[in-house]
């Protein structure tokens, strides 16, 4: 299975037929992903390889060891080596849509945002409802 950043300058491949994913709800992952959780998996190094674009990757490392790699051209998260382990961290959103995957765990639920899982009535659309309708929904 393959994956890429938003602009396609960074591409990678995983040698697996299916994946088990986790969702991390910690503050760092919420900020990194820009949403309420970060969907990801962890793959042994021997099952992962970059196909192109490693020179387009920029890294940011926090003093705790948390690392965020991203494409310097489009800003999308990309896989990175998981600290000093024999694994790669893979952001699930970068994977092709044809990937067979299942969420098997949620971590840092004690840090989840208060608006996650809000049970208010919401509008659901199969596709983008159009700009005006979308804006009206958010500002009405």
- pLDDT means per 10 residues, the chain with 140 residues, are 96 94 90 88 96 97 92 96 93 89 90 76 81 83
Beta strand pairing status for 48-52 and 57-61?
unpaired
Model pLDDT, residue 55: 97
With CA atoms as reference, report the closest residue to 37 among 105, 113, 95, 103.
113
CB 94 within 8 A of CB 2: no
Model pLDDT, residue 119: 56
CA distance 96 to 77: 14
Model pLDDT, residue 7: 97
Model pLDDT, residue 56: 97
Angle ∠(25,74,76) on CA atoms, nearest 5: 20
Give the dihedral of Cα atoms 117, 128, 126, 33; nearest 10 deg. -40
Query: Given strand 2-4, what is the order of strands in its sheet?
Result: 2-4, 11-14, 48-52
Model pLDDT, residue 86: 96
Domains of the chain are: 2-114 (2.170.150.70)
């Amino acid at each position: 299975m393959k994956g890429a950043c938003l602009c396609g300058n960074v591409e990678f491949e995983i040698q697996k037929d299916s994946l088990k994913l986790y969702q991390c709800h910690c503050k760092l992952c919420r900020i990194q992903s820009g949403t309420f959780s970060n969907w990801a998996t962890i793959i042994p190094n021997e099952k992962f390889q970059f196909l192109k674009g490693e020179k387009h990757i920029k890294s940011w490392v926090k003093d705790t060891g948390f690392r965020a790699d991203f494409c310097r051209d489009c800003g999308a998260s990309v896989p990175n080596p998981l600290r000093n382990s024999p694994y790669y961290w893979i952001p699930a959103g970068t994977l092709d849509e044809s990937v067979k995957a299942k969420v098997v765990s949620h971590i840092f639920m004690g840090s989840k945002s208060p608006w996650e899982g809000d049970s208010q009535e919401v509008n659901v659309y199969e596709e983008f409802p159009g700009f005006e309708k979308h804006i009206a929904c958010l500002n009405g």
